Amino acid sequence: MSNHQGKFKKTISLLDLTLIGLGAIFGSAWLFAVSNVASQAGPAGSLSWIIGGVIILLVGLVYAELGAALPRTGGIIRYPVYSHGPLVGYLISFITIVAYTSLISIEVTAVRQYVAFWLPGLTQKGSESPTIAGWLVQFAMLVLFFLLNYWSVKTFAKSNIIISIFKYVVPVTVIVVLAFHFQPSNITAAGFAPGGFNGIQAAISTGGVMFAYLGLHPIVSVASEVKNPQRNIPIALILCIVLSALIYTALQVLFIGAIPADMLSGGWEGIQDKFPLPFKDIAVLLGLGWLAQFVVFDAIVSPGGNGNIFMNTTARLVYAWSRNGTLFKTFSKVDKNTGIPRSSLWLSFGLSVFWTLPFPSWNALVQVCSVALILSYAIAPISSAAFRVNAKDLERPFKLRGMSIIAPLSFIFASYIVYWSGWKTISWLLGSQIVMFLVYFAFTKFVPKHEVSMAQQLKSAWWLVGYYVIMLVISYLGSFGGGLKVLSSPVDLIVIAIASLAVFYWAKYTGLPKAIIDDDESDAHEEASAGTEKENAKMT
């Protein structure tokens, strides 16, 4: 190993880690989602936030056990390799990296759109696409995020604390102010659940609820840089989920209660059009100009903070993918002086710049990214269950009680979220995963086979391909987003639950015969450095 190869430095405290998680959760979504949810589900949309919070909590508990037992940088895409081999890890790595690099660009685009309120020349007239000046603003933000993460881990963590504190002050301020304008009659004025249970389901997947909750990955991705990870990772995960669920539900309820009664005469369906920027718009209607300005300023800071977090997280995920052996080795290098995987950071920066190009299906891309991350979340319960078969001696400092129930239940709920995204999204996303599987199979000559034979990799991966095919078929026959509606509710949900349980146990018992868990990279790097020093001593 080169002398320039370093190790990750354990500099992130529990406070840093909690703020990283909450900072990732409170980005652009809270500024947009409440009006989308209200349009789809009415006041019952508050239930969407609660249901979404419960689902993420279940998955988060699984991650808490995995993160404490295996504190690995980019662990979310390394756990599948440990439990099911390189092929499954490759598929999950690809989908996760695409999602995260595009999420960085989504956040900087949100910032640019809000800045356009003060500088209209940044956005093309009649379009959400940037002008040349607007694109340069986005590029400058990406460069800033790159530099903040390039210097040191501590620079990233401290800059995130400064941004995060402001990000939390604004939604709490909105909650306090709108509580004084709450009208209980709004809850039933135009119907509590005009869209029925279908509306509640749709709001979870396509209304922005799950997109808002997607902040768990950064906590697990920096595991090797966390002080006392066995204690701090579970605490940070649970704190982030519970606090965010409380805040989001309160924001939804208070937004609904603060809408002027006369604006509900046409029902809930048009609320999104009336409040495209919900909290800023309602503040103006209530004559609270200062609050409107406060929200607009936060609408620039919050997505910007998220872009910084996602740049950090993506570099760790690229590093992890390289460590898995299905990406070029250069991306697994860590700078000796700073503890930063700089090659991975460069690739993350390049891909995030690529996604800022004005593709026509930008809104669809946001939805696809959300579902892609949910799919990567869904692998955690699978890996955790498989470890109980092929890694029985794995030390678990935080052992989750009821895992035999929580793991399959969280996998079923993850399948529901994928299904609720609709046929158009699922066909594109899962179809691309099947294509990537065929690409891997076509290049078997170059894939890692020294620890796991190709035959075993396929045996341990067929469940994932089967799952993709099953979800494609159910979605095509289902009642969401362009399906044929052959399967109506609740028949479709029952079918998904049964199919997901079957896939879960298929995956649990077809993992590797013995998990291939490597040493903590910090230890490995220390040993390598020690070996290098001995070699140098011999030469002198």
Transcribe 383-429 into DSSP letters.
Answer: HHHHHHHH-TT---SSPPTTHHHHHHHHHHHHHHHHHHT-HHHHHHH
Low-confidence residues of the chain, pLDDT below 50? 1-5, 360-362, 521-540
Helix (H) or strand (E) holding 186: helix 186-189
Residues of the domain holding 42: 14-539
- The answer to whether the CB of 218 falls within 8 A of the CB of 310 is yes
**What is the rounded CA–CA span in Å between residue 169 and residue 130?**
30
Please indicate, yes or no, if residue 1 is contained in any of the structural domains.
no
For residue 327, the 8-state DSSP code is S
Which amino acid type is present at position 485? K
Please report the sign of the dihedral spanned by the C-alpha atoms of residue 324, residue 328, residue 331, residue 334. positive
Residue 453 confidence (pLDDT): 95
Angle at 269 between CA 268 and CA 271, to 5 degrees: 65
- The answer to whether the CB of 250 falls within 8 A of the CB of 179 is no
Residue 328 confidence (pLDDT): 87
C-beta atoms surrounding 298 within 10 Å? 25
Please indicate, yes or no, if residue 4 is contained in any of the structural domains.
no
- The answer to whether the CB of 377 falls within 8 A of the CB of 420 is no
- The answer to whether the CB of 385 falls within 8 A of the CB of 510 is no
Spatial CB neighbours of 86, under 8 Å, sequence gap ≥ 6 = 324, 325, 326, 447, 448, 452, 457
C-beta atoms surrounding 527 within 10 Å? 12
Q: What is the largest CA-CA distance in the chain?
A: 86
H, E, C per residue of 250-299: HHHHHHHHHCCHHHHCCCCCCHHHHCCCHHHHHHHHCCCHHHHHHHHHHH
- The answer to whether the CB of 87 falls within 8 A of the CB of 458 is yes
Residue 67 confidence (pLDDT): 82
- The answer to whether the CB of 282 falls within 8 A of the CB of 186 is no
Residue 475 confidence (pLDDT): 95
Residue 507 confidence (pLDDT): 98
Please give the tally of structural domains in the chain. 1
- The answer to whether the CB of 284 falls within 8 A of the CB of 258 is no
Buried/exposed code over 148-177 (b: 16+ C-beta within 10 A; e: otherwise): bbbebbeebbebbeebbeebbebbeebbeb
Distances (CA, A) of 161 to 23, 165, 231, 510: 9, 6, 21, 43
**For the purposes of burial, counting CB atoms within 10 Å of the CB of 329, is it exposed (0-12), middle (13-18) or buried (19 or more)?**
exposed
Please indicate, yes or no, if residue 295 is contained in any of the structural domains.
yes
- The answer to whether the CB of 14 falls within 8 A of the CB of 235 is yes
- The answer to whether the CB of 350 falls within 8 A of the CB of 102 is no
User: What is the end-to-end Cα distance of the chain in Å, rounded?
Assistant: 19
Residue 487 confidence (pLDDT): 93
Domain with 280 in it: what CATH number? 1.20.1740.10
| Strand partners for 335 | 5
Please indicate, yes or no, if residue 476 is contained in any of the structural domains.
yes
Tokens of 217: 């990955």
Please indicate, yes or no, if residue 7 is contained in any of the structural domains.
no
| Strand partners for 12 | 226
Residue 533 confidence (pLDDT): 34
